[in-house]
């Protein structure tokens, strides 16, 4: 993750004002004035304001947090959790898609297959990765790697963070829907354990294509839905400006997903969101991944596949 000045969301304005005041006082203190007590008092006030704010986020506010540009992305998790990571390219049919990054590496010493959407953290990298919106080639690449993981008996880890699969004409002409369906089917067919983490946005088939896993976890302020709030607003009200109202009625938060049984657990984020302390969030995620895989140890291939299929059948029966 590139070093950046802290970016505040609109609803964080009270905290931003307090942080700005602290910065002003620190500048004054640098000239020799002893105002450490005042600085400490305002810092405590800012910390409390932030904690209070994040205890009562609306679904729309969580959507904004999930999309925060400084939130840790796929490459950040790879750097913090995976050693010897070797990305592979191409679907062996058309070409390479850099929105979906996939490869092999080691997680805490054990070989593993890893895949996930990368949004990018600069103008150049966002364009390179197509803002995390994968084309058919990305999903077919994931299928290719899942088949390799199956062949070599390697567990699969997926990290989802995307506004959805790319809806461009070229992507549709090359079979976007079919590629998503085949990727979902490949996940379901695995006889090796797979764990999925929704780290930010988990939107539509673009997310489900790589998160049909034995264990599905979500970061505390991540979102998971069949459609984005903006798209839902356009469909329901013919008005894309009602995204906030849509989000508040769509049941898209991690807390909603846990209550419905769609996910297995929620990973608590640092106060103020994962973007305020990416290193801590990545460490927490690593521990959760290790625990999830440990819970699947001892199951043979048939049991692993049966558990996964039953998990999603139960979701359908419960919510159908």
User: Do both 68 and 47 map to the same domain?
Assistant: no
Domain check: are 20 and 95 in the same one? no
Burial (CB < 10 A; 0-12, 13-18, 19+), residue 320, is exposed
Residues 112 and 259 in one domain: yes
pLDDT in tens, 124-171: 999 999 999 999 999 999 999 999 999 999 999 999 999 999 999 999
pLDDT confidence tier of residue 2, bands split at 50, 70 and 90: very low
Q: Is 294 part of a structural domain of the chain?
A: yes
Are both 72 and 35 inside the same structural domain? no
Which residue range(s) make up the domain with 15?
10-56
Is 3 part of a structural domain of the chain?
Answer: no
Could you please report the per-residue DSSP string of 197-244? EEEEEEEHHHHHHHH--SEEEEETT-EEESS-HHHHHHHHHS-GGGHH
Q: Are residues 151 and 216 in the same domain?
A: yes
Report how far residue 18's alpha carbon sits from residue 259's, in angstroms, rounded to the nearest whole number: 35
Residue 37 lies in a domain: yes
Q: Is residue 5 situated within a structural domain?
A: no
The tens digit of pLDDT for each residue in 301-318 reads 999 999 999 999 999 888
State the pLDDT confidence band at 86, using cuts at 50, 70 and 90: very high
The verdict on 37 and 134 lying in the same domain is no
One domain, residues 18 and 103? no
Residues 52 and 129 grouped into a single domain:
no
How far apart, in Å, are the Cα atoms of 131 and each of 82, 99, 274, 307? 22, 7, 19, 33
- Given 56, 72, 91, which residue is the final one in a domain? 56
In the chain, how many domains are there? 2
In a domain, 303, yes or no: yes
Q: Which CATH number fits the domain that encloses residue 302? A: 3.90.226.10
138 and 240 share one domain: yes
47 assigned to some structural domain: yes
Identify the weakest region by mean pLDDT among 21-25, 43-47, 65-69, 253-257: 21-25
Higher pLDDT, 28 or 263: 263
Same-domain status, 174 and 313: yes
User: 224 has which bridge partners?
Assistant: 202
**Same-domain status, 52 and 121:** no
- The answer to the question of residue 290 being in a domain is yes
Residue 4 to residues 38, 43, 66, 86, 213, Cα–Cα distance (Å)? 27, 21, 18, 27, 34
Q: Are residues 304 and 188 in the same domain?
A: yes
In a domain, 4, yes or no: no
57/243 Cα distance (integer angstroms): 16
Q: Which of 213, 216, 189, 182 is nearest to 302 (CA)?
A: 189
**Residue 4: predicted pLDDT:** 61
């Amino acid at each position: 993750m590139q070093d950046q000045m802290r970016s505040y969301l609109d609803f964080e304005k009270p905290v931003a004002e307090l942080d700005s005041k602290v910065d002003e006082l620190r500048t004054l203190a640098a000239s020799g004035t002893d105002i450490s007590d005042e600085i400490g008092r305002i810092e405590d006030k800012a910390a409390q304001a932030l904690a209070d704010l994040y205890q009562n986020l609306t679904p729309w506010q969580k959507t904004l947090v999930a999309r925060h540009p400084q939130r840790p992305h796929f490459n950040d998790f790879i750097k913090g959790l995976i050693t010897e990571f070797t990305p592979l390219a191409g679907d062996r049919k058309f070409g390479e898609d850099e929105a979906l990054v996939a490869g092999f590496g080691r997680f805490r010493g054990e070989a593993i297959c890893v895949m996930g959407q990368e949004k990018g953290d600069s103008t150049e990298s966002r364009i390179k990765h197509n803002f995390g919106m994968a084309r058919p080639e990305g999903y077919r690449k994931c299928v290719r790697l899942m088949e390799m993981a199956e062949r070599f008996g390697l567990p699969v880890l997926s990290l989802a963070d995307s506004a959805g699969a790319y809806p461009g004409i070229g992507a549709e002409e090359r079979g976007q829907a079919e590629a998503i369906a085949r990727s979902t089917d490949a996940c379901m067919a695995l006889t090796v354990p797979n764990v999925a983490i929704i780290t930010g946005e988990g939107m539509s088939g673009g997310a489900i294509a790589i998160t049909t896993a034995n264990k599905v976890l979500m970061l505390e302020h991540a979102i998971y839905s069949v459609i984005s709030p903006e798209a839902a607003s356009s469909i329901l009200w013919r008005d894309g400006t009602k995204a906030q109202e849509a989000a508040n009625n769509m049941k898209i938060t991690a807390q909603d997903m846990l209550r419905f049984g769609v996910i297995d657990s929620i990973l608590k984020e640092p106060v103020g969101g994962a973007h305020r302390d990416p290193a801590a969030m990545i460490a927490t995620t690593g521990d959760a991944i290790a625990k999830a895989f440990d819970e699947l140890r001892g199951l043979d291939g048939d049991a692993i596949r049966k558990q996964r299929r039953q998990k999603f059948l139960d979701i359908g029966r419960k919510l159908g």
